[in-house]
Structure 1
Protein backbone atom coordinates (compact mmCIF):
# COMPACT_ATOMS: atom_id res chain seq x y z
CA UNK A 1 0.00 0.00 0.00
CA UNK A 2 2.77 2.41 0.90
CA UNK A 3 4.42 1.83 -2.48
CA UNK A 4 1.09 2.19 -4.31
CA UNK A 5 0.38 5.47 -2.55
CA UNK A 6 4.00 6.62 -2.78
CA UNK A 7 4.20 7.33 0.96
CA UNK A 8 6.20 6.09 3.89
CA UNK A 9 4.99 2.82 5.48
CA UNK A 10 4.50 4.58 8.85
CA UNK A 11 1.29 6.51 8.03
CA UNK A 12 -0.16 3.44 6.33
CA UNK A 13 0.61 1.33 9.40
CA UNK A 14 -0.91 4.00 11.69
CA UNK A 15 -4.03 4.28 9.52
CA UNK A 16 -4.50 0.52 9.54
CA UNK A 17 -4.04 0.40 13.31
CA UNK A 18 -6.69 3.09 13.73
CA UNK A 19 -9.06 1.30 11.36
CA UNK A 20 -8.50 -1.87 13.36
CA UNK A 21 -9.31 -0.08 16.62
CA UNK A 22 -12.55 1.19 15.04
CA UNK A 23 -13.49 -2.31 13.89
CA UNK A 24 -13.23 -1.58 10.17
CA UNK A 25 -10.42 -4.04 9.47
CA UNK A 26 -8.99 -7.08 11.23
CA UNK A 27 -5.34 -7.93 11.47
CA UNK A 28 -4.32 -11.35 10.25
CA UNK A 29 -0.74 -12.28 11.13
CA UNK A 30 1.38 -12.61 8.00
CA UNK A 31 -1.70 -12.08 5.82
CA UNK A 32 -2.54 -8.39 6.13
CA UNK A 33 -5.67 -6.48 7.07
CA UNK A 34 -8.89 -7.78 5.54
CA UNK A 35 -12.02 -5.64 5.78
CA UNK A 36 -14.23 -6.57 8.73
CA UNK A 37 -17.55 -8.14 7.85
CA UNK A 38 -20.77 -6.20 8.43
CA UNK A 39 -22.27 -6.54 11.87
CA UNK A 40 -24.28 -9.64 12.59
CA UNK A 41 -27.85 -9.17 13.77
CA UNK A 42 -26.71 -9.75 17.38
CA UNK A 43 -23.86 -7.21 17.02
CA UNK A 44 -26.26 -4.73 15.41
CA UNK A 45 -28.67 -5.11 18.33
CA UNK A 46 -25.77 -4.74 20.75
CA UNK A 47 -24.74 -1.51 19.04
CA UNK A 48 -28.25 -0.12 19.38
CA UNK A 49 -28.45 -1.19 23.01
CA UNK A 50 -25.25 0.82 23.60
CA UNK A 51 -26.63 3.76 21.66
CA UNK A 52 -29.79 3.71 23.76
CA UNK A 53 -27.73 3.79 26.95
CA UNK A 54 -25.23 6.40 25.83
CA UNK A 55 -27.22 8.72 23.61
CA UNK A 56 -30.30 8.88 25.85
CA UNK A 57 -28.02 9.91 28.71
CA UNK A 58 -26.30 12.40 26.40
CA UNK A 59 -29.67 13.94 25.47
CA UNK A 60 -30.68 14.21 29.14
CA UNK A 61 -27.38 15.83 30.09
CA UNK A 62 -27.45 18.12 27.06
CA UNK A 63 -30.85 19.46 28.15
CA UNK A 64 -29.36 20.26 31.55
CA UNK A 65 -25.83 21.34 30.59
CA UNK A 66 -25.79 22.76 27.06
CA UNK A 67 -24.78 26.36 26.52
CA UNK A 68 -27.24 28.73 24.87
CA UNK A 69 -25.07 28.64 21.74
CA UNK A 70 -25.19 24.83 21.64
CA UNK A 71 -28.98 24.86 22.11
CA UNK A 72 -29.41 27.32 19.25
CA UNK A 73 -27.07 25.31 17.03
CA UNK A 74 -29.03 22.10 17.70
CA UNK A 75 -32.31 23.80 16.76
CA UNK A 76 -30.70 25.23 13.62
CA UNK A 77 -29.26 21.88 12.49
CA UNK A 78 -32.50 20.02 13.31
CA UNK A 79 -34.47 22.54 11.24
CA UNK A 80 -32.49 21.60 8.14
CA UNK A 81 -34.26 18.87 6.23
CA UNK A 82 -33.01 16.74 3.40
CA UNK A 83 -35.58 14.83 1.41
CA UNK A 84 -34.90 12.07 -1.07
CA UNK A 85 -34.92 12.82 -4.74
CA UNK A 86 -33.26 12.21 -8.06
CA UNK A 87 -29.94 13.68 -6.93
CA UNK A 88 -27.70 10.67 -6.18
CA UNK A 89 -25.87 12.53 -3.41
CA UNK A 90 -28.89 13.38 -1.24
CA UNK A 91 -28.48 10.35 1.04
CA UNK A 92 -24.87 11.33 1.77
CA UNK A 93 -26.11 14.79 2.78
CA UNK A 94 -28.83 13.23 4.95
CA UNK A 95 -26.29 10.91 6.59
CA UNK A 96 -23.92 13.81 7.29
CA UNK A 97 -26.74 15.88 8.80
CA UNK A 98 -27.85 12.98 11.01
CA UNK A 99 -24.30 12.42 12.23
CA UNK A 100 -23.84 16.14 12.87
CA UNK A 101 -26.96 16.32 15.03
CA UNK A 102 -25.98 13.30 17.11
CA UNK A 103 -22.45 14.69 17.53
CA UNK A 104 -23.87 18.04 18.68
CA UNK A 105 -26.04 16.32 21.30
CA UNK A 106 -23.01 14.38 22.57
CA UNK A 107 -20.90 17.55 22.71
CA UNK A 108 -23.68 19.45 24.49
CA UNK A 109 -23.81 16.74 27.16
CA UNK A 110 -20.55 18.23 28.46
CA UNK A 111 -19.20 14.77 29.21
CA UNK A 112 -15.79 14.23 27.59
CA UNK A 113 -15.69 10.62 28.72
CA UNK A 114 -19.06 9.88 27.16
CA UNK A 115 -18.20 11.73 23.98
CA UNK A 116 -14.64 10.65 23.30
CA UNK A 117 -14.41 7.24 24.88
CA UNK A 118 -17.83 5.87 24.06
CA UNK A 119 -19.82 7.54 21.32
CA UNK A 120 -16.79 8.32 19.15
CA UNK A 121 -15.83 4.64 19.16
CA UNK A 122 -19.23 3.76 17.70
CA UNK A 123 -18.85 6.18 14.78
CA UNK A 124 -17.50 3.70 12.25
CA UNK A 125 -20.28 1.22 12.89
CA UNK A 126 -22.86 4.02 13.01
CA UNK A 127 -21.69 5.21 9.62
CA UNK A 128 -22.13 1.73 8.18
CA UNK A 129 -25.64 1.58 9.67
CA UNK A 130 -26.51 4.95 8.15
CA UNK A 131 -25.46 3.67 4.72
CA UNK A 132 -28.27 1.08 4.95
CA UNK A 133 -30.85 3.33 6.62
CA UNK A 134 -34.38 3.11 5.12
CA UNK A 135 -34.28 6.50 3.45
CA UNK A 136 -38.03 6.52 2.90
CA UNK A 137 -38.16 7.47 6.60
CA UNK A 138 -36.31 10.78 6.28
CA UNK A 139 -39.40 12.89 7.05
CA UNK A 140 -39.98 10.99 10.31
CA UNK A 141 -36.30 11.32 11.21
CA UNK A 142 -36.38 15.06 10.52
CA UNK A 143 -39.40 15.46 12.82
CA UNK A 144 -37.69 13.40 15.54
CA UNK A 145 -34.55 15.55 15.28
CA UNK A 146 -36.66 18.69 15.68
CA UNK A 147 -38.47 17.27 18.74
CA UNK A 148 -35.14 16.31 20.31
CA UNK A 149 -33.58 19.70 19.64
CA UNK A 150 -36.64 21.49 21.01
CA UNK A 151 -36.52 19.46 24.24
CA UNK A 152 -32.84 20.26 24.73
CA UNK A 153 -33.44 23.91 23.84
CA UNK A 154 -36.26 24.06 26.42
CA UNK A 155 -34.01 22.65 29.19
CA UNK A 156 -36.27 19.56 29.53
CA UNK A 157 -34.12 16.50 30.37
CA UNK A 158 -37.05 14.05 30.61
CA UNK A 159 -38.45 15.09 27.24
CA UNK A 160 -34.97 15.08 25.65
CA UNK A 161 -34.25 11.56 26.88
CA UNK A 162 -37.67 10.35 25.69
CA UNK A 163 -37.22 12.00 22.30
CA UNK A 164 -33.83 10.34 21.83
CA UNK A 165 -35.20 6.96 22.94
CA UNK A 166 -38.07 7.21 20.44
CA UNK A 167 -35.71 8.33 17.67
CA UNK A 168 -33.25 5.48 18.24
CA UNK A 169 -36.03 2.92 18.60
CA UNK A 170 -37.41 3.97 15.21
CA UNK A 171 -33.92 3.96 13.69
CA UNK A 172 -33.33 0.43 14.97
Structure 2
Protein backbone atom coordinates (compact mmCIF):
# COMPACT_ATOMS: atom_id res chain seq x y z
CA UNK A 1 0.00 0.00 0.00
CA UNK A 2 1.15 3.53 -0.73
CA UNK A 3 1.60 5.79 2.29
CA UNK A 4 -1.36 7.99 3.15
CA UNK A 5 0.72 11.10 2.49
CA UNK A 6 1.38 9.94 -1.07
CA UNK A 7 -2.32 9.27 -1.63
CA UNK A 8 -3.23 12.72 -0.34
CA UNK A 9 -0.63 14.35 -2.58
CA UNK A 10 -1.93 12.53 -5.65
CA UNK A 11 -5.50 13.53 -4.81
CA UNK A 12 -4.45 17.16 -4.36
CA UNK A 13 -2.61 17.21 -7.69
CA UNK A 14 -5.58 15.54 -9.40
CA UNK A 15 -7.97 18.12 -7.98
CA UNK A 16 -5.72 21.02 -9.02
CA UNK A 17 -5.28 19.82 -12.59
CA UNK A 18 -8.96 18.97 -12.92
CA UNK A 19 -9.85 22.52 -11.85
CA UNK A 20 -7.41 23.92 -14.41
CA UNK A 21 -9.03 21.84 -17.15
CA UNK A 22 -12.55 22.72 -16.03
CA UNK A 23 -11.69 26.44 -15.90
CA UNK A 24 -9.88 26.29 -19.27
CA UNK A 25 -6.61 27.38 -17.64
CA UNK A 26 -5.45 24.40 -19.64
CA UNK A 27 -7.26 25.21 -22.87
CA UNK A 28 -9.30 22.55 -24.67
CA UNK A 29 -6.97 20.67 -26.99
CA UNK A 30 -3.82 22.11 -25.42
CA UNK A 31 -0.81 19.87 -24.83
CA UNK A 32 0.01 19.20 -21.18
CA UNK A 33 3.71 19.31 -20.30
CA UNK A 34 4.20 16.98 -17.35
CA UNK A 35 7.56 18.40 -16.28
CA UNK A 36 6.37 22.00 -16.50
CA UNK A 37 3.22 21.15 -14.55
CA UNK A 38 5.27 19.37 -11.90
CA UNK A 39 7.46 22.45 -11.50
CA UNK A 40 4.41 24.70 -11.28
CA UNK A 41 2.85 22.53 -8.58
CA UNK A 42 6.20 21.94 -6.86
CA UNK A 43 5.89 18.16 -6.95
CA UNK A 44 7.69 15.36 -8.74
CA UNK A 45 6.38 14.19 -12.13
CA UNK A 46 5.02 10.95 -10.61
CA UNK A 47 1.86 12.34 -8.94
CA UNK A 48 1.25 14.44 -12.06
CA UNK A 49 1.31 11.31 -14.23
CA UNK A 50 -1.00 9.52 -11.79
CA UNK A 51 -3.40 12.45 -11.80
CA UNK A 52 -3.41 12.61 -15.60
CA UNK A 53 -4.19 8.89 -15.79
CA UNK A 54 -7.25 9.50 -13.60
CA UNK A 55 -8.27 12.49 -15.70
CA UNK A 56 -7.95 10.35 -18.81
CA UNK A 57 -10.43 7.90 -17.24
CA UNK A 58 -12.72 10.89 -16.59
CA UNK A 59 -12.48 11.84 -20.26
CA UNK A 60 -11.02 15.26 -19.42
CA UNK A 61 -7.60 14.58 -20.97
CA UNK A 62 -6.41 12.35 -23.80
CA UNK A 63 -3.15 10.50 -24.27
CA UNK A 64 -1.75 10.27 -27.80
CA UNK A 65 1.33 8.34 -28.96
CA UNK A 66 4.37 10.58 -29.49
CA UNK A 67 2.40 13.59 -28.27
CA UNK A 68 1.52 12.80 -24.67
CA UNK A 69 -1.44 14.25 -22.83
CA UNK A 70 -3.71 16.98 -24.16
CA UNK A 71 -6.85 18.50 -22.65
CA UNK A 72 -9.92 16.97 -24.24
CA UNK A 73 -11.83 19.21 -26.65
CA UNK A 74 -15.19 20.54 -25.57
CA UNK A 75 -18.33 18.69 -26.56
CA UNK A 76 -19.74 19.66 -29.93
CA UNK A 77 -23.47 20.20 -30.32
CA UNK A 78 -23.83 16.73 -31.87
CA UNK A 79 -21.86 15.13 -29.02
CA UNK A 80 -23.95 17.04 -26.49
CA UNK A 81 -27.15 15.71 -28.07
CA UNK A 82 -25.73 12.18 -28.12
CA UNK A 83 -24.81 12.44 -24.43
CA UNK A 84 -28.34 13.56 -23.54
CA UNK A 85 -29.84 10.77 -25.64
CA UNK A 86 -27.66 8.18 -23.91
CA UNK A 87 -28.61 9.48 -20.48
CA UNK A 88 -32.29 9.34 -21.41
CA UNK A 89 -31.91 5.68 -22.30
CA UNK A 90 -29.84 4.65 -19.29
CA UNK A 91 -31.12 6.82 -16.45
CA UNK A 92 -34.82 6.37 -17.17
CA UNK A 93 -34.22 2.61 -17.10
CA UNK A 94 -32.40 2.97 -13.78
CA UNK A 95 -35.29 4.98 -12.31
CA UNK A 96 -37.87 2.40 -13.42
CA UNK A 97 -35.90 -0.39 -11.78
CA UNK A 98 -35.34 1.61 -8.60
CA UNK A 99 -39.07 2.33 -8.31
CA UNK A 100 -39.92 -1.33 -8.93
CA UNK A 101 -37.43 -2.42 -6.29
CA UNK A 102 -38.84 0.07 -3.79
CA UNK A 103 -41.98 -2.10 -3.53
CA UNK A 104 -39.92 -5.24 -2.92
CA UNK A 105 -37.76 -4.39 0.05
CA UNK A 106 -38.29 -7.75 1.72
CA UNK A 107 -36.72 -10.87 0.28
CA UNK A 108 -39.99 -12.72 0.77
CA UNK A 109 -41.62 -10.35 -1.73
CA UNK A 110 -39.40 -11.65 -4.54
CA UNK A 111 -40.86 -14.75 -6.22
CA UNK A 112 -38.54 -17.75 -6.07
CA UNK A 113 -36.47 -18.12 -9.20
CA UNK A 114 -37.18 -14.55 -10.38
CA UNK A 115 -34.03 -12.51 -9.67
CA UNK A 116 -34.64 -10.04 -12.55
CA UNK A 117 -35.52 -7.24 -10.16
CA UNK A 118 -33.90 -7.97 -6.79
CA UNK A 119 -35.20 -6.56 -3.55
CA UNK A 120 -34.06 -3.06 -2.72
CA UNK A 121 -32.04 -1.85 0.22
CA UNK A 122 -34.75 -0.52 2.58
CA UNK A 123 -32.63 2.60 3.14
CA UNK A 124 -32.36 3.36 -0.60
CA UNK A 125 -35.05 6.04 -0.67
CA UNK A 126 -33.61 7.73 2.40
CA UNK A 127 -30.18 7.81 0.75
CA UNK A 128 -31.60 9.25 -2.45
CA UNK A 129 -33.63 11.88 -0.62
CA UNK A 130 -30.59 12.99 1.39
CA UNK A 131 -28.59 13.31 -1.84
CA UNK A 132 -31.35 15.09 -3.77
CA UNK A 133 -30.82 18.50 -2.17
CA UNK A 134 -27.90 20.31 -3.81
CA UNK A 135 -25.58 22.97 -2.34
CA UNK A 136 -25.47 26.50 -3.64
CA UNK A 137 -22.38 28.32 -4.92
CA UNK A 138 -19.37 28.58 -2.63
CA UNK A 139 -19.17 32.17 -1.32
CA UNK A 140 -16.25 34.26 -2.60
CA UNK A 141 -15.05 31.43 -4.88
CA UNK A 142 -14.47 31.85 -8.58
CA UNK A 143 -14.78 29.52 -11.57
CA UNK A 144 -14.98 25.79 -11.01
CA UNK A 145 -14.20 26.19 -7.30
CA UNK A 146 -17.57 27.91 -6.85
CA UNK A 147 -19.54 25.03 -8.40
CA UNK A 148 -17.38 22.01 -7.50
CA UNK A 149 -19.53 21.09 -4.48
CA UNK A 150 -22.69 21.36 -6.59
CA UNK A 151 -21.33 19.21 -9.42
CA UNK A 152 -20.03 16.58 -6.99
CA UNK A 153 -23.38 16.37 -5.19
CA UNK A 154 -25.30 16.31 -8.48
CA UNK A 155 -23.13 13.46 -9.76
CA UNK A 156 -23.57 11.63 -6.44
CA UNK A 157 -27.36 11.73 -6.76
CA UNK A 158 -27.35 10.30 -10.28
CA UNK A 159 -24.81 7.64 -9.32
CA UNK A 160 -26.95 6.61 -6.34
CA UNK A 161 -29.97 6.38 -8.61
CA UNK A 162 -28.00 4.10 -10.90
CA UNK A 163 -26.76 2.06 -7.95
CA UNK A 164 -30.27 1.50 -6.63
CA UNK A 165 -31.38 0.15 -10.00
CA UNK A 166 -29.84 -3.09 -8.82
CA UNK A 167 -28.12 -3.61 -12.18
CA UNK A 168 -24.34 -3.30 -11.92
CA UNK A 169 -23.76 -3.04 -15.66
CA UNK A 170 -26.35 -0.28 -15.93
CA UNK A 171 -24.73 1.51 -13.00
CA UNK A 172 -21.26 1.24 -14.53
CA UNK A 173 -22.46 2.52 -17.91
CA UNK A 174 -24.02 5.60 -16.30
CA UNK A 175 -20.97 6.35 -14.17
CA UNK A 176 -18.57 5.98 -17.12
CA UNK A 177 -20.38 8.75 -19.01
CA UNK A 178 -19.06 11.32 -16.50
CA UNK A 179 -21.70 13.76 -17.83
CA UNK A 180 -21.29 16.34 -15.08
CA UNK A 181 -17.63 16.93 -15.78
CA UNK A 182 -18.26 17.37 -19.48
CA UNK A 183 -21.42 19.48 -19.25
CA UNK A 184 -20.20 21.88 -16.58
CA UNK A 185 -16.91 22.31 -18.41
CA UNK A 186 -19.04 23.72 -21.23
CA UNK A 187 -21.34 25.97 -19.30
CA UNK A 188 -22.86 26.28 -15.83
CA UNK A 189 -26.40 27.66 -16.04
CA UNK A 190 -27.17 29.58 -12.81
CA UNK A 191 -30.74 28.25 -12.94
CA UNK A 192 -29.35 24.83 -11.98
CA UNK A 193 -29.07 26.08 -8.40
CA UNK A 194 -32.77 26.82 -8.19
CA UNK A 195 -34.27 23.89 -10.07
CA UNK A 196 -32.11 20.75 -10.13
CA UNK A 197 -32.70 19.90 -6.48
CA UNK A 198 -36.47 20.23 -6.84
CA UNK A 199 -36.36 17.99 -9.91
CA UNK A 200 -34.34 15.42 -7.97
CA UNK A 201 -36.92 15.37 -5.19
CA UNK A 202 -39.70 14.68 -7.70
CA UNK A 203 -37.72 11.65 -8.88
CA UNK A 204 -37.32 10.41 -5.30
CA UNK A 205 -41.03 10.93 -4.59
CA UNK A 206 -41.91 8.71 -7.54
CA UNK A 207 -39.45 6.02 -6.48
CA UNK A 208 -40.71 6.17 -2.90
CA UNK A 209 -44.25 5.69 -4.21
CA UNK A 210 -43.12 2.60 -6.13
CA UNK A 211 -44.37 4.11 -9.39
CA UNK A 212 -42.03 3.13 -12.29
CA UNK A 213 -43.90 5.16 -14.91
CA UNK A 214 -43.81 8.30 -12.82
CA UNK A 215 -40.15 7.76 -11.90
CA UNK A 216 -39.20 7.35 -15.55
CA UNK A 217 -41.16 10.47 -16.49
CA UNK A 218 -39.54 12.49 -13.69
CA UNK A 219 -36.03 11.56 -14.83
CA UNK A 220 -36.91 12.31 -18.44
CA UNK A 221 -38.29 15.72 -17.50
CA UNK A 222 -35.19 16.47 -15.42
CA UNK A 223 -32.74 15.54 -18.17
CA UNK A 224 -34.66 17.42 -20.86
CA UNK A 225 -34.91 20.49 -18.63
CA UNK A 226 -31.16 20.33 -17.98
CA UNK A 227 -30.64 20.05 -21.72
CA UNK A 228 -32.60 23.26 -22.26
CA UNK A 229 -30.55 25.02 -19.60
CA UNK A 230 -27.33 24.15 -21.45
CA UNK A 231 -28.49 24.93 -24.99
CA UNK A 232 -27.71 28.67 -24.80
CA UNK A 233 -24.02 27.73 -24.79
CA UNK A 234 -24.46 26.54 -28.35
CA UNK A 235 -26.31 29.70 -29.36
CA UNK A 236 -29.56 28.00 -30.21
CA UNK A 237 -32.65 26.64 -28.52
TM superposition score category, shorter chain reference: 0.7 to 0.9
Change (3 A) 1:86 1:156: same
More helix by share: 1
Matched, 1:59 2:113: no
Which of 1 and 2 has higher RCO (CA within 8 Å, sep 6+)?
1
CA positional deviation for 1:24: 2.3
Q: Which residue of 1 aligns with 2:31?
A: none
Matched, 1:138 2:193: yes
TM-score, with normalisation over the residues of structure 2? 0.62
Q: Output the CA distance in 1 between the equivalents of 2:181 and 2:213.
A: 27
**Secondary structure of the residue that 1:56 maps to in structure 2?**
helix
Q: How many residue pairs get matched?
A: 167
TM-score, with normalisation over the residues of structure 1? 0.83
Q: Output the CA distance in 2 between the equivalents of 1:43 and 1:100.
A: 23
CA positional deviation for 1:27: 2.6
- Farther-moved stretch of structure 1 (88-97 vs 146-155): 88-97
Cα contact 2:134–2:154 (8 A) shared by 1: no
Larger Rg: 2
Q: Which residue of 1 aligns with 2:80?
A: 44
Unaligned regions of 5+ residues in structure 2, if any? 1-33, 102-119, 228-237
CA positional deviation for 1:17: 4.8
14, 37, 59: which one aligns with 1:23:
59
Change (3 A) 1:84 1:15: closer
Change (3 A) 1:6 1:157: same
Q: Which residue of 2 aligns with 1:82?
A: 135
Q: Output the CA distance in 2 between the equivalents of 1:40 and 1:140.
A: 25
